[in-house]
Amino acid sequence: MGGVGSGTAGPRAAGPATAAGAVRIPAVPGFAPRAARAEADGARTPKARGRALRERVPRSSHAAWAEVAGRPDAVRAVEESGRGRVARLTPLRVGRMAATPFAFLRGSAGLMAHDLTGTPVTGVGAQLCGDAHAANFGLYGDARGRLVIDLNDFDETVVGPWEWDVKRLAASLVLAGREAGADEDTCRGAAYDAVGAYRRTMRLLAKLPVLDAWNAIADEELVSHTDARDLAGTLERVSEKARNNTSARFAARSTEAVDGVSGKGPAGRRFVDAPPVLRRVPDEEAAAVAASLEEYLTTLPADRLPLLARYAIHDVAFRVVGTGSVGTRSYVVLLLDHRGEPLVLQVKEARPSALLPHLPAVGFEPPEVAHEGRRVVLGQQRMQVVSDNLLGWTTVLGRPCQVRQFRNRKGSVDPAALPADLVDDYARMTGALLARAHAHSVDPRLVAGYCGRNEELDAAVAEFAVAYADRTEANHSELLAAVRGGRISAELGV
């Protein structure tokens, strides 16, 4: 197949400048000159404005949750979220969601967003992960191969109430803890500790100089900052596996050599079918994916183009991923350099955020999205301290997609498989990471002012998390009953 480096893209346009030649900072949502902000806000500091929000939305009110009118039952919610996906993969997606209550939560971001419309919000917006459950944190490699730990899934990212990410994380920790065999006090404590770590990290970031806060917290300091030292051994074991989780390792396991002309030596490699997870695609479909990389190149910084120009495309396959993502079009593209060393890119369909229909109910205007892949990529870059240096977007057969490196030294902790005494340590780490991610789009002084010094918010969200975990278990039971009764098809155990 053709080379990936044939497209061209010029340098990104420079920002606007004044007549005198000085660079002028462009308008940014939420940004205004200091004098204008002071006049508009009665000279109150962001921290004071955050504290004032408690009068309208008491922190204790976040304990409340009640079902919103018009809530679909669990089975209908699963069916609705599956519309537009690859139909033959629907039973696989249902089967994965039916595995455990935690798995059900992982696949039902839209249903939880519907439920969260009935909970209090301060009106303060942040760039949300949108699916900040406990399994969506992990390790990955930066441009030089060093491991970074952060949020790592942004399919649902959108600007919305910061509380939604916090509550999804807290509820997921209760479910993961239950699956891990922890007692109920430990599960509630994990949710409590995650919110406490979020709150304390926001307070820390609010006190730092802006540049220091923007790049905080150094990964090697994160465990000690969150008092999660007992987790260090688990993270080190995950790190060792992550260092070997590369394109080369994936290609060695998932491809085979292809003979050259007249059998004179190898000409390259191609993917090997491994159903239902990996399958080769027809030539026409493969050609469309390969051609889409021309558009992808235009979304990258110009300095990445010489790198990709030294690779050639050899094959394309369809690969099933995740739990909530099952049924979306997702391809792996095999690229080889002049030595035959592989680089694998993932081209993954980007559907509209599942949170989008529910934002107006809490006073957030749905954004205009020109390209869903671009939304995912920009949201990821806004939340992570460092992102994949080959992150971009494209369009395949009319469907928007994101593009990223596949198996870029990724590694993760399975929170549902942790020893019970480590669940709260993991919770503190993820709470701190979520605060760091939110602080890139919302002033940490504002959120810290609202969260405060005491543990009122921690206790309230923990109470919500237990109640919502109970409801998720009921949702899961409804889905299992529907599978057993034949109402919905499921492929279990895959």
pLDDT single digits (tens) 87-123: 899 999 999 999 999 999 999 999 999 999 999 999 9
Instruction: Cite the beta strand spans of 372-433 per DSSP E.
Output: 392-396, 399-405
Cβ within 8 Å of residue 93, ≥6 positions away = 82, 85, 107, 323, 326, 327
Q: How many domains does the chain have?
A: 1
In a domain, 150, yes or no: yes
Beta carbons of 239 and 409 less than 8 angstroms apart: no
pLDDT score recorded for residue 232: 75
Question: 322 pLDDT band (50/70/90 cuts)?
Answer: confident
Beta carbons of 129 and 180 less than 8 angstroms apart: no
In a domain, 475, yes or no: yes
Average pLDDT over residues 374-400: 96
Q: How far is CA 301 from CA 308, 390, 419, 477, in A?
A: 12, 9, 43, 48
pLDDT score recorded for residue 217: 61
In a domain, 159, yes or no: yes
pLDDT score recorded for residue 142: 84
pLDDT score recorded for residue 238: 86
pLDDT score recorded for residue 272: 96
pLDDT score recorded for residue 225: 59
Reading the block at residue 270, the tokens are: 């191609």
Residue 15 has pLDDT above 80, yes or no: no
Q: Which residues constitute the domain of residue 105?
A: 42-244+414-484
Cβ neighbour number for residue 229 with a 10 Å cutoff: 10
Q: What percent of the chain has pLDDT over 70?
A: 87
Residue-averaged pLDDT of the chain: 88
In a domain, 419, yes or no: yes
pLDDT tens digits, 174-230: 999 999 999 999 999 999 999 999 999 999 999 999 998 888 765 555 555 566 666
In a domain, 297, yes or no: no
DSSP string, 251-283: HHHHEEEEE-GGG-SEEEEEE--BTTTEEE--H
pLDDT tens digits, 125-182: 999 999 999 999 988 888 887 888 899 999 999 999 999 999 999 999 999 999 999 9
Residue 23 has pLDDT above 50, yes or no: no
pLDDT score recorded for residue 55: 97
In a domain, 21, yes or no: no
pLDDT tens digits, 50-92: 999 999 999 999 999 998 888 999 999 999 998 899 989 999 9
Q: How far apart are CA 374 and CA 91, in angstroms?
A: 29
Question: 234 pLDDT band (50/70/90 cuts)?
Answer: confident
In a domain, 234, yes or no: yes
In a domain, 84, yes or no: yes
Q: Which residues of 97-116 are buried (b: 16+ CB within 10 A; e: fewer)?
A: bbbbbbbbbbbbbbbbbbbb
pLDDT score recorded for residue 224: 54
Q: At what angle do helices 74-81 and 456-484 cross, to 10 degrees?
A: 90
Q: How far apart are CA 242 and CA 262, in angstroms?
A: 40
Question: 20 pLDDT band (50/70/90 cuts)?
Answer: very low
Residue 241 has pLDDT above 60, yes or no: yes
125 beta partners: 161
- Map residue 151 onto helix, strand or coil: strand
Beta carbons of 231 and 426 less than 8 angstroms apart: yes
pLDDT tens digits, 465-482: 999 999 999 999 999 999
Beta carbons of 445 and 52 less than 8 angstroms apart: no
pLDDT score recorded for residue 22: 44
**Segment among 139-153, 250-264, 318-332, 382-396 with least mean pLDDT:** 250-264
Cβ neighbour number for residue 275 with a 10 Å cutoff: 8
Reading the block at residue 331, the tokens are: 């391809």
Average pLDDT over residues 389-402: 97
Q: Beta strands 312-319 and 330-336: pairing type?
A: antiparallel
Cβ within 8 Å of residue 74, ≥6 positions away = 104, 108, 111, 474, 475, 476, 478, 479, 482
334 beta partners: 315, 344
- CA angle in degrees (0–180, nearest 5) for 242-246-247: 160
pLDDT score recorded for residue 231: 77
Residue 12 has pLDDT above 70, yes or no: no
